[in-house]
Amino acid sequence: MSAKSLSEWLSYIESQHPSEIELGLERGLSVLEKLNLGRPKAKVITVAGTNGKGSTCTMLTRYLVDAGFKVGTYTSPHFLRFNERVLIDGEECSDELLVEAFEVIEQVRGDTPLTYFEFSTMAALWVYDHLDLDYWVLEVGLGGRLDSVNMVDTDLAVITSIALDHMDWLGDSIEGIGREKAGIARAGKPLISGVVNPPQSIADVATECGSPLLQKHVDFTFNAADTQWDWQGLGHSFTALPIPKLPMENAATVIAALLQLEVEVSRERLVAMFEAATLMGRFQQVSSEPTLYVDVAHNPEAAGQLKQQVARLNTPTIAVCGMLKDKDIGSVMSLLQDTFSEWHFIDLPGPRGAKAEELAKFVSQSQCHENINAALAAAKQSALHQSATVIVFGSFVTVSEFLSIQ
């Protein structure tokens, strides 16, 4: 029998567990033990949070790679290719290495069922161990305490933000969600909290497990102006930094995290990183005639960040939006209703996809479209007439659909 291609492996692992999500570490740890993986030469960095995980991982990776280290970065979900989840020095892992990883995992797992995410996580860990890298930067998929990324003991835990999301899995209180996300902390290893107005549960978990806690606006802080910002704390000060392309709240947390590593943290290298670091789907400019950005903002906290970024454009803006119906649509629309001069809503496919008409109920002036092609055509025509900017946002699904037709 011929070896499976990567696409065949992905179809296979999708079929191996009845649930797309099943939180818990027992299954994965039993297989991980059989893989007998080592650790990176330097440290494991684990990043949890409601929003900002991807941006934080991207900036950490960019700084470490620019400093000469070999870095594996595991994130999810992907937009167009599974390989986006498993990066080596910021570049996608090859199909060949991923196939080899899946083959090894399949050989050792026996009759232990693994979810798609557990398969994916172990494949990334196998690749990073195989390549003998300096750092592993691991993004939590859901929650923290019971997420399969937490199978690996971290050397530096980072929590970017806490908000009500995935409540079916994580609970319906900020305190409870904070406790789940803080579950990535380890005894004697720093826990960086970039959370604004953090729940007490984060500090409680840090105390319970003996993790030194460093908090934004307590141990480090920042101040921003229109064109630059300053950072202070942990015995360091960095002034006149350029406004980053990725959210500043996350950039401030990244500086605190870097200061916990065995690397030199210089203003010059920070400037280079903030000027260059971008992330697919996070306020990403994808065209100029008309100017068009995509953003995966899909909950109130992310919508607030999007509002700030749009305000810096100083141009009229037109929205193309599609959302999942299990998100807090009302709060997102309430935050953004005055941000855009024109709204174009689309239907998203599948049982979780909201219909355009459901979204249109929340704003006064809008047009509904059956698909993204129709919405884009109308929005672009209007933008060219008004010299406006188009923002495509609302869901990973929305952004993926847009990117797939480019």
Q: pLDDT of 202-246, one tens digit each?
A: 999 999 999 999 999 999 999 998 789 999 999 999 999 999 989
Under the banding of pLDDT at 50, 70 and 90, the label for residue 19 is low
**Residue found under tokens 């001069």:** 341
- pLDDT at position 390 is 96
> What is the rounded average pLDDT of the residues 13-33?
78
Please list, in sequence order, all residues whose beta carbon lies within 8 angstroms of the beta carbon of residue 79, skipping any fewer than 6 positions away: 280, 281, 396, 399, 400, 403
Q: What percent helix, strand, coil does the chain show, rounded to 5?
A: 40, 20, 40
| Full strand arrangement of the beta sheet holding 236-242 | 220-224, 228-233, 236-242
> What is the rounded average pLDDT of the residues 251-277?
96
Q: Quick check: 301 pLDDT over 90?
A: no
Percent of the chain whose pLDDT exceeds 70: 95
194 in Cβ contact with 151 (< 8 Å): no
Q: Quick check: 384 pLDDT over 60?
A: yes
CB atoms within 10 A of CB 23: 18
**pLDDT digit string (tens) for 159-192?**
999 876 645 545 568 898 899 999 999 999 999 9
Confidence (pTM): 0.90
Is the bond into 290 cis (omega within 30 degrees of 0)? yes
Q: Quick check: 107 pLDDT over 90?
A: yes
Q: Cα(147)–Cα(115) distance, rounded to whole angstroms?
A: 11
Give domain 6-276's CATH number out of 3.90.870.20, 3.40.1190.10, 3.30.930.10, 3.30.70.2190.
3.40.1190.10
Under the banding of pLDDT at 50, 70 and 90, the label for residue 322 is very high
Please name the amino acid found at residue 21: I
Q: Which token pair is 258? A: 């870097």
Q: Which helix (H) or strand (E) holds 372?
A: helix 372-386
* Cα distances (angstroms) measured from residue 391 to each of 75, 176, 297: 24, 33, 11
Give the least confident one: 14-28, 107-121, 239-253, 268-282: 14-28
**Residue found under tokens 């991807």:** 54
Q: Quick check: 404 pLDDT over 60?
A: yes
- pLDDT at position 207 is 97
Q: Cα(84)–Cα(280) distance, rounded to whole angstroms?
A: 10
Candidates 240, 9, 277; CA nearest to 122 is 9
CB atoms within 10 A of CB 386: 15
Please list, in sequence order, all residues whose beta carbon lies within 8 angstroms of the beta carbon of residue 58, skipping any fewer than 6 positions away: 73, 90, 246, 277, 278, 279
- pLDDT at position 327 is 85
> Is residue 286 helix, strand or coil?
strand
Q: Where does 69-183 show beta strands of DSSP type E?
A: 71-74, 86-88, 91-92, 135-139, 156-159
Report DSSP state, residue 172.
S
- pLDDT at position 2 is 52
Q: Cα(58)–Cα(63) distance, rounded to whole angstroms?
A: 9
Under the banding of pLDDT at 50, 70 and 90, the label for residue 110 is very high
Please name the amino acid found at residue 382: S
Q: What are phi and psi of 281, to 5 degrees?
A: 85, 0
Candidates 265, 277, 274; CA nearest to 242 is 274
87 in Cβ contact with 109 (< 8 Å): no
> What is the rounded average pLDDT of the residues 278-283?
90
Candidates 338, 386, 346, 389; CA nearest to 364 is 338
Q: Quick check: 1 pLDDT over 50?
A: no
Report the mean per-residue pLDDT for the chain.
92
- pLDDT at position 20 is 56
| Residue ranges of the chain that CATH labels 3.40.1190.10 | 6-276
Give domain 284-404's CATH number out of 3.40.50.170, 3.90.1150.10, 3.90.190.20, 3.40.1010.20.
3.90.190.20
| Residue ranges of the chain that CATH labels 3.90.190.20 | 284-404
